[in-house]
């Protein structure tokens, strides 16, 4: 407390900003008082159930009845990403050392997770140069319904490495990686 019996400035109960100061409450006549001062963005969070305008439709599988019966999965169709492409990117991140192995824990079955644990410490897809590896092409085939055998070309500069993996659809209709193999290094 001050010596004259008044409270020091800035302490005590705050009732709001000074309406006479610019940016304080009351200086914006006719605006919403619940909106923070200085905010001009009128956008609101998007409802995920309503498609965005201009969004392309989910990719359609081509190549005959066996493929169209397998792809796209329910979750992948909503995201617009095919399962083999999604897994190729995630496996590349783990095998190039960009992500830890446990990042794939819920997306693999036990034998495939063990394979990743064995492969990841050596980071077989880590680039020799500063060029970041990328999936240059990923394709698949469906030997039986509910199983995808995918193969990807991983490019890092002028080096290309092969990666093959098997996806199996579980009883909960989610795809999980069941096996992973990396081609010989050049």
Cα separation of 21 and 13, whole Å? 19
Using pLDDT thresholds of 50, 70 and 90, give the confidence band for residue 70: very low
Strands 159-169 and 175-182, sheet pairing: antiparallel
146 pLDDT higher than 90: yes
What number of residues does the chain have? 186
Question: Higher pLDDT residue, 66 or 3?
Answer: 3
pTM score, whole prediction: 0.58
Query: Which of these ranges, 62-76, 95-109, 156-170, has the smallest mean pLDDT?
Result: 62-76
């Amino acid at each position: 407390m001050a010596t004259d019996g008044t409270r020091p400035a800035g302490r005590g109960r705050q009732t709001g900003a000074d309406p006479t100061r610019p940016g304080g409450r009351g200086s914006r006549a006719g605006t919403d008082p619940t909106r923070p001062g200085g905010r001009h963005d009128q956008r609101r969070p998007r409802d995920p159930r309503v498609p965005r305008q201009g969004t392309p439709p989910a990719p359609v599988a081509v190549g005959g009845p066996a493929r169209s019966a397998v792809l796209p999965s329910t979750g992948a169709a909503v995201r617009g990403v095919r399962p083999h492409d999604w897994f190729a990117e995630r496996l590349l991140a783990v095998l190039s050392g960009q992500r830890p192995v446990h990042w794939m824990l819920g997306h693999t079955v036990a034998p495939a997770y063990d394979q990743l644990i064995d492969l990841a410490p050596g980071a077989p897809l880590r680039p020799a140069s500063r060029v970041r590896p990328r999936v240059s092409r990923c394709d698949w085939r469906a030997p039986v319904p509910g199983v995808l055998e995918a193969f990807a070309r991983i490019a890092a500069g002028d080096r290309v490495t092969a990666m093959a993996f098997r996806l199996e659809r579980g009883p909960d209709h989610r795809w999980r990686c069941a096996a992973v193999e990396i081609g010989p290094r050049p």
